[in-house]
Amino acid sequence: MTSKPRSSAPETADPLTRPASADAGAAWDPDVCCNLAEQLWTLRRHMLAQEAAAHQVLAQVAPDHQASARNLLHYLALRQQDHRDLQERLAWIGVSSLGRAESHVLANLDKVLGILHRLGNQPWIDHSADEPVGIVTSQRLLQQHTLALLGAEPAERVVRVMVTLPSEAAHDAALVKRLVAAGMDIARINCAHDAATQWQAMAEHVRQASRQLGRPVRVLMDLGGPKLRTGNLLPGPAVLKLRPQRDEFGRPVVPAAVGLRAAGSVAPVPGAQAHAEVKTDWLAGLEVGDKLELVDARDAHRTLRVVAVSPEGALAHTDQTVYLLPHTRLTRLRHARHAPANTRLGGLPALDGKLVLHRGDRLRLVAQDEAMTDSPSPSLGGLPRVPCTLPEVFAQVNEGERIWFDDGRIGGVIRQASAQGLVVEISQARDGGEKLMSDKGINLPDSQLDLPALTLKDVDDLSAVARLADMVGLSFVQREQDVEELRARLAGLGAAHVGVVLKIETRRAFENLPRLLLSAMASPAAGIMIARGDLAVECGYERLAEIQEEILWAAEAAHMPVIWATQVLETLAKTGIPSRAEITDAAMGERAECVMLNKGPHILDAMRTLDDILQRMQAHQIKKRPQLRALAAWSPLG
């Protein structure tokens, strides 16, 4: 199968240590070239052996992905050993160092071998029949796979833009149309929020805007998955804080506005920022201009003034900061005859439950029902209790393992573990403490959790996915069985055509990435999303840059489209002003086939900025390969 080079004589000097003044031709010493060729032949045989050993895996791959799967196996074989010394030697003699060979590994290696054979005065026989792809066919395969999953390439740029739809998109068709007009190529519906009725309305608005504007837009529905989160903490006291807006001198410029409505009413009072309930007959006697006196939670004497009366209730303003409690008494200074002069407040919202944690504090992570009981299990002691949405993980966790809360803001170590709960000691928090609240993420990066990626809710949601989506995001995928179950359920719903997006967001998913990619290749359309938020917490922020590079390399070897996600231009989308760092981060999105933006009040500004960045960067970068576009900014010197 291979053309063996002649036995190379021992080198008398390391080519990398030859003097700089040496004749250029010495770099092409036949013995040096033959020695390098022998190393590449060994590597080549290893690649083909790895491919042969994986024949059963390859048999499960769809025909359109066969060549890509073989190339991925070759790339994995290439990266099993450290080849940096070999790369230096190859670069020294002026041939490819294999550093950009991800998409066509064997073909690149064979080209280098052919050159080395000629430089070493050895015959060369073409071996392209062994090569699954070349540089041209690899680019074509990536384009085909990207088209199958993400849809047509937009006219103005190569990289697609995905936008997470807010809940308002279900009833605001004009909002969706603005997003499509601004350049949204893929609409993301997060199935962790809203319900099937809202998802259907969102998808219909996307299809309608796509037809009206003549711009193809696809729909991704992202399954919630087995997301570990804090459950509902016991609510705090019922208290309503009214605070006016003040200028830099502390003078009120916008009063605080509270709506007073009849007990039991849920109708919003126009102009109100918050609401309280009062007695119906007392409310009926209110008129514009009335002054209402009270003593608030701090024993401070305060006054409200009625500025509007409507069928829904009365609107009252104050220029003072006021803390209202249940049963706070409002007294009307002027009141009609036979009408009560005062009333007690009701219907005030309870403060969200929270737990302030400092380094060294301990808490118990328990099931939701245990957290809500007044008499906890004796085995759990008297520590503060935090509910967990998936208490089944308790039996899979060991003492000494790390735990993170709220996207890594709070860190701890598990000191006790049992099926009834976990004792956690807080090891990382700001000096002033951190607030832990309900519905915050929990990460267990050291634990080997055995949780199926599809929850019962996800299985139910798939019926809507089958009707509405072009592709589905598989959250918290960890093993190839997760992918196989998703494919089987889609096929059972007559939706085998729906593309599969693997969300790489856990340490275990990263470690199993090759198997996950090969399993996804059984689908007609597949891709991956680098979900950098959870991934950073799971693997460590200091490793994120390294890990996302490795994921990009593996995906390129598999000719699989990548979605670059989490916090892209997030500050711009939320505040209207970007940070310098996130502009550079957005430019990295050129390495992917799609960039995802999250919702925010300034999302249209974020889309325009991202579009500009991607259009500029595509002239400079394709995947790992820099483009040598003329640099007009610099004129010749001299």
* DSSP label of 102: G
Per residue in 32-82, pLDDT tens? 899 999 999 999 999 999 999 999 999 999 999 999 999 999 999 999 999
* DSSP label of 491: H
CB 322 within 8 A of CB 297: no
Is 18 a residue whose pLDDT tops 50?
Answer: no
Please name the amino acid found at residue 511: E
CA distance 485 to 503: 15
First-residue to last-residue Cα distance in the chain: 56
Among candidates 179, 121, 162, which has minimal Cα distance to 5?
121
Question: 291: which strand partners?
Answer: 305
Q: Name the token pair of 317.
A: 């303003």
Q: Lowest-pLDDT range, 20-34, 346-360, 562-576, 597-611?
A: 20-34
114 pLDDT tier (thresholds 50, 70, 90): very high
Phi first, then psi, for residue 131 (nearest 5°) are: -85, 125
Q: Residue 10: what pLDDT?
A: 39
Q: Residue 213: what pLDDT?
A: 96
Among candidates 369, 414, 411, which has minimal Cα distance to 394?
414
Mean predicted lDDT score pLDDT of the chain: 89
Is 166 a residue whose pLDDT tops 60?
Answer: yes
Q: Name the token pair of 475.
A: 């959250």
Q: Name the token pair of 10.
A: 């021992």
240-344 and 354-442, same CATH topology: yes
Q: HSE-up of 331 (CA within 13 Å, CB side)?
A: 7
175 pLDDT tier (thresholds 50, 70, 90): very high
Say what percent of the chain tops pLDDT 70: 91
What does each C-alpha distance from 101 to 68, 96, 104 come to in angstroms? 13, 9, 6
* Sequence-ordered alpha helix ranges (H) in 55-127: 55-59, 66-78, 84-92, 105-119
Q: Residue 339: what pLDDT?
A: 64
Q: Name the token pair of 337.
A: 């005859």
Query: Average pLDDT of 113-133?
Result: 92
Query: Average pLDDT of 377-381?
Result: 48
Is 13 a residue whose pLDDT tops 50?
Answer: no
> What is the three-class DSSP state of 160?
strand
Per residue in 202-261, pLDDT tens? 999 999 999 999 999 999 999 999 989 999 888 888 999 999 999 988 899 999 999 999
Is 375 a residue whose pLDDT tops 70?
Answer: no
* Sequence-ordered alpha helix ranges (H) in 452-501: 456-468, 480-492
Is 25 a residue whose pLDDT tops 80?
Answer: no
Question: 354: which strand partners?
Answer: 437
Per residue in 520-562, pLDDT tens? 999 999 999 999 888 989 888 889 999 999 999 999 999 999 9
Burial of 261 (0-12, 13-18, 19+ CB in 10 A): buried
370 pLDDT tier (thresholds 50, 70, 90): confident
Is 379 a residue whose pLDDT tops 50?
Answer: no
CA distance 105 to 585: 28
- Tell me yes or no: is domain 240-344 CATH 2.30.110.10: no
Is 338 a residue whose pLDDT tops 90?
Answer: no
Q: Residue 253: what pLDDT?
A: 94
Q: Residue 628: what pLDDT?
A: 57
CA distance 322 to 327: 14
Class in CATH terms, 354-442:
mainly beta
Q: Residue 593: what pLDDT?
A: 95
Kindly list the domain boundaries of the chain, sorted by start residue: 15-133, 143-226+451-617, 240-344, 354-442
* DSSP label of 505: -
CA distance 612 to 599: 19
3-state secondary structure 274-318: EEEEECHHHHHCCCCCCEEEEECCCCCEEEEEEEEEECCEEEEEE
CA distance 500 to 490: 10
Q: Residue 19: what pLDDT?
A: 38
3 pLDDT tier (thresholds 50, 70, 90): very low
CA distance 259 to 309: 10
Burial of 553 (0-12, 13-18, 19+ CB in 10 A): middle
Phi first, then psi, for residue 427 (nearest 5°) are: -115, -20
Is 11 a residue whose pLDDT tops 90?
Answer: no
Residue 227: CB atoms within 10 Å: 17
632 pLDDT tier (thresholds 50, 70, 90): low
Q: Residue 627: what pLDDT?
A: 59
Question: In this structure, is the dihedral angle defined by the CA atoms of residues 473, 476, 480 and 483, taken in order, positive or negative?
Answer: negative
Query: Average pLDDT of 384-396?
Result: 93
Q: Residue 28: what pLDDT?
A: 79
Q: Lowest-pLDDT range, 19-33, 119-133, 550-564?
A: 19-33
Class in CATH terms, 143-226+451-617:
alpha beta
* Whole-prediction pTM: 0.80
Please name the amino acid found at residue 258: V
Buried/exposed code over 428-467 (b: 16+ C-beta within 10 A; e: otherwise)? bbeeeebebebebbbbbbebebebbbbbeebeebbebbbe
Q: Name the token pair of 413.
A: 């170590």
372 pLDDT tier (thresholds 50, 70, 90): low
Among candidates 465, 472, 551, which has minimal Cα distance to 506?
551
CB 313 within 8 A of CB 295: no
Is 633 a residue whose pLDDT tops 80?
Answer: no
Q: Name the token pair of 88.
A: 């230096």
CA distance 488 to 500: 12
For every residue of 32-47, DSSP letters joined together read HHHHHHHHHHHHHHHH
